[in-house]
Structure 1
Amino acid sequence: MDKLIFGNTELRVIDHGGQPCLTLSEVAIALYGKGGDQSDAPFDSAVRQVQKLYMRHSDEFTKTMTGMVKMQTRGGEQEVRVFSLRGAHLLGMFARTERAKQFRRAVLDVLDEQVRQGETLSAEFQRTLLEYSGKQTLASLCGKGLRQWQGQKPPLEAKLDHLASQMQQSLPLH
């Protein structure tokens, strides 16, 4: 995921520690809207408001919910605070705007979809593993099926490796 569409606003998503994250500025856009160019006072005020929300409740955020990353900005490379989708949702819980209310629902929808995808991958992995194990056992017992198993084994191993890789990428960090 490289972007998150929220209403008519496109939020840029970055990867941090294998998780989709939003910068503090992107969260400010989601919760309070953007007043035009980032130098505009209304937007600067929104960024400060999100910073205050975070600072006021920083003890409620885990290491997987927020962190600092080096990013290229208009002012050069800087450390920027990012929030996982769970962290962004928590900020949305503290904000008292109508946009925040809508954002909370949107983030939960994205998180639910990630869980569904993970469950689907897990089920497919289990089916493939069962097929692999069954055919391997049959080939070993029968002897006759050994040549057939040698042809079936590589694609099943490749599928298991691919699914395991996808599952690893979709697991949330805790």
Structure 2
Amino acid sequence: MSTLTFNEVNFNPVERNGQIWLTSTEIAKALGYARTDNISRIYNRNKDEFTGSMTATINMVVKGFGSGEGNKRDLRIFSLRGCHLLAMFARTDIAKQFRKWVLDILDKEVGAPVQLPSSQLTSEQTLPLRNAVNKLVGRSGIMYPEGYKIVHQQFGVKHIKDLTLEQLAQAIEYVHDRILSLNVEKTPISSFTHNQYIMNVKHEVMDYVYSLQKAIVDSGSPLPKYPRFDKEEICQAFIVSMIQSNRMMLSFDHNGKPNVGFIPQEHAVVSRESLSSVVQFADKSQLPSIINEAVRRLGQ
């Protein structure tokens, strides 16, 4: 099989089942990676999206990456469809050009334009975009459906999972540009309410996490798996927090049925013993209603 060339990278195609397959070593060079194992990392991170017709492992003599010596070892190879999917996950500057080149070779191989099946993005892949939309919602005051609608309309999709990987990167940049265009001045911390301060800290953490994710992806390393939280424990923690931060009153009706209710923060709990000491500070105009309410409650 004749040699293929892409940007001065010469491929030595492997013929398998009558089709063109390329080695991970040569694909790494074409995509601009300094290390061959970057291709292995991309594959391992997304192996559930590769079928048996896209990749395989064979035993062959391979020249050292960057040296003239060779040795026989197992090497992963990819069909042209597999190469296209690899380039979809790659984050190098030349990945887009490589994808187009692969499609041109596919067209020549099958003799007709090739329609590659589209695959939806995973929740892990869309996480940076969801973080950006969360930040846009927090900074602009719009509702979440409206925040996602902005992305849907800009890229002509019904759901962010329908974006391509190339569009995903563009969407993240687009949302961050929308955030910057708001020109929201930072409120001095001294005038923050508690909720405003918590929201500000949340946005700062999201920015930091997004930067970490981008650095990890750019390095070719896999992102850690998203943590799984125990919903029951979260509910229990929420209930405990709610109980600890609020005052409650337990009462019983005439049938002995218990009733638990929250006491508003601006209200005071008065016992029989302390009623007289509290009443002396009340306005005289309020005394009749206080006495009537006290008699009614004492009668219960």
TM-score tier, shorter chain, comes to 0.5 to 0.7
- Say whether the 8 Å CA contact 1:2–1:14 is kept in structure 2: no
Q: 1:98 aligns with which of 89, 93, 117?
A: 93
Question: After TM superposition, where is structure 1 displaced by more than 3 Å over at least 4 residues in a row?
Answer: none
2:53 matches 1:64: yes
TM-score (norm 2): 0.34
Distance 1:79-1:30 versus aligned 2 partners, 3 A rule: same
Residue 108 of structure 2 corresponds to 113
User: Counterparts of 2:75 and 2:38 in 1: how far apart (Å)?
Assistant: 16
| Percent of aligned pairs sharing the same letter | 43
Map residues 71-86 of structure 1 onto 2, 5 A cutoff: 71-73=60-62, 74=69, 76-86=71-81
Shift of 1:5: 1.3
User: Counterparts of 2:110 and 2:37 in 1: how far apart (Å)?
Assistant: 32
Q: Which has the larger radius of gyration?
A: 2
SS of the residue aligned with 1:2? coil
Shift of 1:7: 2.1
**5+ residue gaps in structure 2?**
63-68, 113-300
- The alignment of Structure 1 onto Structure 2 pairs a total of residues equal to 107
Residue 23 of structure 2 corresponds to 23
- The residue identity in structure 2 corresponding to 1:71 is M
Higher relative contact order (CA 8 A, sep 6+): 1
- Say whether the 8 Å CA contact 2:24–2:75 is kept in structure 1: yes
SS of the residue aligned with 1:64? coil
Distance 1:112-1:100 versus aligned 2 partners, 3 A rule: same
Map residues 132-147 of structure 1 onto 2, 5 A cutoff: none
Shift of 1:81: 0.5
Shift of 1:75: 5.2
User: Counterparts of 2:2 and 2:20 in 1: how far apart (Å)?
Assistant: 8
Shift of 1:9: 2.0
Structure having the higher helix fraction is 1
CA root-mean-square deviation: 1.9
**5+ residue gaps in structure 1?**
34-42, 118-174
